[in-house]
Chains A and B, each alone.
Chain A
Amino acid sequence: MITAAFEYARPGSVDEAQSLLTKYGDDAKVIAGGQSLIPLMRLRLSQPTALVDIQGIHGLKEVRRDNGSVEIGALVRHVDIQRNATLREALPILVEMANDVGDNQVRNLGTIGGVIAHGDAAGDYNALALMLDAEIVTNKRRHKASDFFRDIFTTALEHDEVVTAVRFPVSTGRFAYTKFRRRLYDWAIAGVAVQETGSSWRVGYVNLARTPRRGASVERALAGGASAADAAAESGSDIDPTGDVRATAEYKRHLAQVLTARTLEKATMAA
């Protein structure tokens, strides 16, 4: 379908982007790679009256490592993550996730800032941001990931707020990510990420509730010395899946438990 009509502007700075968003009003939207927004506009599920294209803003494409953190500019694309040597060392789980987002064509356009701002529970990076206590940096403030993902496709971002970077703790421990899907380029029907940080484990769930979820109960069980299988049995209290065309809620609950055990085993065997 042809999208509704809109005005288009390409600001050169974050400040200019913010004033354009203010000028165009509540129905204006940022566009980055367009890989989530354009499909929605084509279905007319989204009808912004103006698009503020941030592709030309300098300083949003860098990856910087400092003091135990790695800061990833909002315009860093999936393909950039796949090829980035700093990330491969400092946050290898993100690189593994990037390898399986969509296909080459999608990865050449889609950005990390777009995934975060879109707030899709099926966005792989969102569960990682949540479980690792990442910070979402904007032109206005720094959000804790734990306060950021509010509801289905709903984040703490205000209308004129632009994500400029995502800041993760350097995470070099053992990790694994399982993305369960039926076709290569599909989104996750269910996804489970695990990362060792110091002596404890973090667990994150993709597409298993209206928002990304942290596996807090599973983490507690692991900290108390439970086996992977016993800890995985706690997954039910960390998620709240709804059924869709690809899987019923019950099946997703089953997947969460099986995949949690498998993913933990994969991470610990990868020692």
Chain B
Amino acid sequence: MTQSVSLTINGRPREDHVEPRLLLVHYLREVAGLTGTHIACDTSQCGACTVLIDGEAVKSCSVFTVQAAGKDVTTIEGLAQEGTLHPVQQAFWNEHGLQCGFCTPGFIMAAAYLLKQNPSPTDAEIERGLEGNLCRCTGYENIKKAVRSASQAMNGGTAETSANLVGSAAAPVEG
């Protein structure tokens, strides 16, 4: 039996009929066609599926789509604004914060949330802030470097850069 669900994804409202048991991550990937959100462990361990609901990081493999009805979901596809990468995306690029890239969308969403809560985290705070995300490749050092560098760019950056913070009105993204 399906149920109607209205929610906003990356600033764009949509309505779909889904089974209550459809997980948000499957909805995003298979119904909304946004495959940037990855699924790996399937058991709330790895954070690859991290998205923002009403600006807060959650693991979308541990949320039913129906629970997100009426909310604002931001995925990795919604971070870049008008072709300009979000400072965290740019920093992962600059600092080589990835190898295979599978964990990257989750790390970027978790890091964007972390920097919104705490714009200048210490190294220990970066580690704590990303504790819900696992990476099998990098050894984490370049990921931490990327978060530090994004923090600097966002704090010292221009007004346009800081307006790109997650949670600011996101322009609709084609999905």
Contacts and interface: CB of A to CB of B under 8 A. Distances in A.
B56 to A, nearest CB: 4
Nearest to B54: A108
A53 B59 contact: no
B47 A103 contact: yes
B132 A103 contact: yes
Chain B interface size range = 20 to 34
Interface of A: 1-8, 10, 31, 34-35, 38-39, 42-43, 51, 53, 55, 79, 102-106, 108-109, 184-185
Which residue, of B1, B62, B67, has the highest number of chain A Cβ atoms within 10 A? Answer: B62
Contact of B131 (A2, A35, A51, A185): A185
Given A6-B20, A8-B3, A34-B64, A105 B59 contact: yes
Given A5-B21, A108-B57, A185-B131, A38 B64 contact: yes
Nearest to B55: A108
Given A2-B21, A105-B110, A184 B63 contact: no
B47 A105 contact: yes
B108 interface: no
Contact of A106 (B20, B23, B42, B132): B132
Interface in B28-82: 42-44, 47, 50, 53, 56-59, 62-64, 66-67, 69
Interface of B: 1, 3, 19-21, 23, 42-44, 47, 50, 53, 56-59, 62-64, 66-67, 69, 110, 113-114, 127-129, 131-133
B67 A53 contact: yes
Contact of B43 (A4, A7, A34, A39): A39
Given A34-B64, A104-B129, A7 B1 contact: yes
A43 to B, nearest CB: 8
A8 B57 contact: no
15 contacts: A2-B21, A5-B19, A7-B20, A8-B20, A8-B64, A8-B66, A10-B66, A34-B67, A35-B44, A51-B64, A104-B110, A104-B129, A105-B57, A105-B110, A106-B132
Interface of A is mostly: loop
Contacts, number: 76
A184 B131 contact: yes
Question: Most chain-B Cβ atoms within 10 A of its Cβ — which of A8, A35, A102, A109?
Answer: A8
B62 A34 contact: yes
A105 B50 contact: yes
A172 B56 CA distance: 31
Interface centre among A1, A6, A103, A106 (most CB of B within 10 A): A103
A6 B22 CA distance: 10
A20 to B, nearest CB: 14
Given A5-B21, A8-B3, A103 B63 contact: no
A6 B129 CA distance: 34
A12 to B, nearest CB: 13
A121 to B, nearest CB: 19
Contacts of A79: 56
Given A38-B63, A102-B132, A6 B58 contact: no
A8 B19 CA distance: 9
Contacts of B128: 184
Contact of A109 (B3, B63, B114, B127): B63
Contacts of A105: 47, 50, 57-59, 110, 132
Contact of A104 (B1, B19, B57, B69): B57
